[in-house]
Amino acid sequence: MTDRLYSVEQVAERLGLHVRTIRNYVRDGRLNAVRIGKQYRIAEADLEAFTGLPVPAPVRETVRRQRHAEVSSIVQVEAVGAELADRLTTLLMGAANTRSTEDEPLRIETAYDAERARLKVIVLGGLADTARLLEYMGGVLAS
């Protein structure tokens, strides 16, 4: 048990209730609180006794955010025959299924329009993996 104190606003947010509802619970004596100046503070133990459940940690305490960058890109390749489009699609799907250098795997969608001889490639993923994938595409298209 900790000596953590919560404001009425924090308790309302955690319980999904309106702030006035929590203040009414405190004033009616249903929820124990300490008045500090003009504000109420609710002890973690009192909140647990009121709800009958352990107090969940706030989102910012449970999730440690790390800096993360993701690329969303659409590559349109003109004047591509069906054979080259199939070759590119196979290469990209194979590259996406190899072990990623980043936490998130690459997500790839391809669409080939035979009438216009156009291939669209949609890539979602990390910076390094996307750059590697685009280099592969450049190598195939340059040959």
| Domain 70-142 indexed as CATH 3.30.310 | yes
As a CATH number, domain 5-62 is 1.10.10
Per-residue burial over 41-70, b = 16 or more CB atoms within 10 Å of its CB, e = otherwise: bbbeebbeebeeeebeeeeeeeeeeeeeee
Q: What pLDDT, in 10s, does the model give residues 30-88?
A: 999 999 888 999 998 888 888 887 766 654 544 556 777 888 999 999 999 999 999 99
Note the pLDDT tens digit of each residue in 43-56: 988 888 888 877 66
Q: What is the pLDDT of residue 1?
A: 47
The whole model's pTM is what? 0.53
Determine the Cα angle at 53 with ends 59 and 66, to 5°. 15
pLDDT for the residue numbered 63: 52
Span 90-106, pLDDT tens digits: 988 888 877 666 667 78
The domain spans of the chain are 5-62, 70-142
Which pLDDT score is estimated for 103? 65
